[in-house]
Structure 1
Amino acid sequence: MLSEKSAQTVRATLPVVGAAIEEITGSFYNRLFTAHPELLRDLFNRGNQADGSQKSALAGSIAAFATALVNNPDQRPDAMLARIAHKHASLGVTGPQYQVVHDNLFAAIVEVLGEAVTPEVAEAWEEVYWLMANALIALEARLYEESGTHSERRPYTVVSRTAETADVATFLLHPADGGTVPAHKPGQYVSVQVELPDGARQIRQYSLSGRPDGGLQITVKRVAGDPAGEVSTHLHQHVDQGDTLLVSAPFGDVQLVDEDRPLVLASAGIGCTPIIGMLEHLAETGATRKVVAVHGDQQESTHAFREELARLAEKLPNAEAHVWYERPEIERPAERTGRVDLTGLAVPADAVAYLCGPLPFMRAVRTQLLEAGVPAADIHYEVFGPDMWLGQN
């Protein structure tokens, strides 16, 4: 891991670098996209660049990795690295791109910190960077080998499109070449690449929301706002049965483990997609483990897979489903109106939990699970977009 000499330097300079890390990552992306505009056009999420979330996520991951190295020099933060590696593999990131990132990142560090970047400081942070980069390169190479894709996306035909709500649609996809669907696990996602009107080939990741025979199923919520979601809007407005999409192999480090321990499956909004996929797997495999499924939404008409949640919970012999609506359209119990609240539920202390939804929702549910005695190591989460929680829990 990190050499003792570099560890001392990183420990001494971490407060200065940490204080400037958002400015550094902002300069980094400006440099990177000026030198390589194709990366912004065809790889990076332009929406996340516009709102600054990708910059903040990168800053957080660098600071978290460096902190982990100096605080636990004999341990590598593998959980954090696995999360990043799966995201990168689904996007098709390759080894040589890490040198491009290095060159622009260190130019940004020098630009922001100036004379504070002595040769000794530069050498220490070079070591940090390449420890992280080489670990990710190795992890991603293994993921590509296991998936048999080597970073390519494959053409899939849209077999059907189903409206779940006014702003949510499910797309059933079959390989255009008639071949087999790659193996995947409940909780994983795929990347979908579309060509937009300006010629950009943008990529987004969507959880697998079901387990259809011979295909993959994704469910997409149209992202409103200013700017609106580029890819989700394109899929809703321009993609229908018979169209072709370029789709990656399934990736994702949040995977349902088949065992006998009780389960807590908690979702909010469109975070229901991987949870529904997990419930369908449990039903298909005849699982008898205790399952507590909870979901929060704005109201009945915005709740995608509302009927599916009830059907799957009823099909499982030891499952219960609880739903909260913030603004219900029909009369319902007060204890199920508002935001998700686990305090009134019997949550087994030996449960393993999977969470998906907005960060405030997941933080609140995680806190309640910890108070119920569920160990932090047994609480897993999936977040859509840049992981602003990475390294914080």
Structure 2
Amino acid sequence: MLSEQSAATVRATLPAVGAALGTITERFYAGLFAAHPELRRDLFNRGNQASGAQRQALAGAVAAFATHLLDHPGQRPDGMLHRIAHKHASLGVAPEQYGVVHEHLFAAIAEVLGDAVTPEVAAAWDEVYWLMANALIAEERRLREERGGHTWRCWEVVDRVAETDDVATFRLRPADGGPVRDFLAGQYVSVRVALADGARQIRQYSLSGAPGPGLRQISVKRIRGAGVPDGEVSNHLHARVRVGDVLELSEPYGDLVLDGGPGTPLLLASAGIGVTPMAAMLAHLAGSGHSAPVTVVHADRSPATHALRTDHEAYAAKLPDVAVHLWYEQDAPAGTHPGRVDLTGVALAPGTRAYLCGPLPFMRAVRTQLIARGVAPAHIHYEVFGPDLWLAGQG
């Protein structure tokens, strides 16, 4: 995909660019937000900006994309691109914003690397950027067209349930009374809220079940961070949103969806609030006649913090061939495991496809154990809440 000349230049400069990407992305965001404060206020997650997670994710994605182009000429890293495209489409990222990003990213590269950015080097990395950007623009356009375009729709809260001290489930229906599109179990919606300072911040939340025709359901964990903007949207939802209030939601997006028919063995592994897409998957499997073995793995601090536990276990109980394995770090009751997940004694059917959601250390550990047990890496899928730091080598 890269021209021969650009490939040689990128290969020669990748170590230097990669080593400086942390500084480059920091300067990039500073310049971008100085010129376009509305993007920080209304599009980018201010918590991820404050923590540095978004900078790490961007650096990781650029480095991973460039490395893939060099190591696999003629191939695109479609898995990575699809995941990013779903996130962008759900946020309402517009094609013209890629030009704005290009302007400030390359200004940051020139500022950090100085004279090392010759016209040849700039042209090669420009080619890398637009290969990635144009692929994302095309995929995001396709995703939006499938859903009739990106629009924010108002949804009324019709029920609110306290799942645990820190997790609340919100059930919603369209305020306009119109039809509701189907979604695939495992997908998420973006939720946009107006905060006290006038910002309209956006977060993605998995659809945690199918509560009935014409309804949506999300389960939100309150993030208790060190201070604003940590958890500012989740705390807003917990503190201020009640039955009768209205939220803005996108259409469903996300590529962590079940692949394979009713005869495909599955493993659904989650930790903490990562249970939300797994609960939706189990509900779907229970209602669709799935006949192959399903292995359910979940880890939590204690039974009291296990959100959606009743649904988790009830949907699993409806399956004809299921094994449920629960790990709790504290207060593990009889029939569950103390401590952290260990798949050593967990039976896995040949051809198992695995779906993971939870903190990165948990997913890394489970993936390593699954591969050691013979599960094909191509059959292990994951979802990250927030910036995908897997590519950045974090977690």
TM-score normalized by the length of structure 2 = 0.97
Residue 163 (structure 1) aligns with? 162
Deviation (angstroms), 1:313: 1.4
Deviation (angstroms), 1:390: 2.8
1:207 and 2:206 matched: yes
Q: What is the aligned residue count? A: 390
CA contact (8 A) 1:93 1:151 kept: no
Residue 63 (structure 1) aligns with? 63
CA contact (8 A) 1:144 1:151 kept: yes
Distance 2:313 2:219 in 1: 18
Deviation (angstroms), 1:246: 0.5
1:224-262 CA distance string (max 9 Å, x none): 121240000000000011111000000001111241110
SS at match of 1:294: strand
1:324 to 327, 335, 355: 327
Deviation (angstroms), 1:184: 1.0
Deviation (angstroms), 1:18: 0.2
List aligned pairs for 1:29-48, cutoff 5 A. Answer: 29-48=29-48
List aligned pairs for 1:308-347, cutoff 5 A. Answer: 308-328=311-331, 331-332=333-334, 336-347=337-348
CA contact (8 A) 1:266 1:355 kept: yes
CA contact (8 A) 1:349 1:372 kept: no
Deviation (angstroms), 1:305: 1.2
Residue 123 (structure 2) aligns with? 123
Paired letter, 1:243:
D
Distance 1:390 1:214 in 2: 37
1:112 and 2:112 matched: yes
Paired letter, 2:81:
L
Q: CA RMSD in A?
A: 1.2
Residue 379 (structure 2) aligns with? 378
Residue 151 (structure 1) aligns with? 150
Paired letter, 2:350:
A
Deviation (angstroms), 1:348: 1.9
CA contact (8 A) 1:189 1:252 kept: yes
Distance 2:392 2:18 in 1: 14
Residue 262 (structure 1) aligns with? 265
CA contact (8 A) 1:348 1:374 kept: no
The range that moved more, 376-385 or 174-183, is 174-183
CA contact (8 A) 1:327 1:337 kept: yes
CA contact (8 A) 2:293 2:349 kept: no
Paired letter, 2:368:
T
Distance 2:258 2:209 in 1: 13
1:269-310 CA distance string (max 9 Å, x none): 000000000000001112112100010000011011112222
CA contact (8 A) 1:41 1:200 kept: yes
Distance 1:179 1:215 in 2: 11
SS at match of 2:344: helix
Paired letter, 1:383:
V
Distance 1:207 1:306 in 2: 16
Deviation (angstroms), 1:392: 5.9
Residue 85 (structure 1) aligns with? 85
Distance 2:7 2:122 in 1: 12
CA contact (8 A) 1:80 1:391 kept: no
2:284 to 252, 259, 281: 281
Residue 186 (structure 2) aligns with? 187
Distance 1:18 1:47 in 2: 25
Give unpaired runs (5+ residues) of structure 1: none
Deviation (angstroms), 1:341: 1.1
1:294-339 CA distance string (max 9 Å, x none): 10000011011112222111111111211110011x6436x70001
CA contact (8 A) 1:147 1:249 kept: yes
| Percent of aligned pairs sharing the same letter | 63
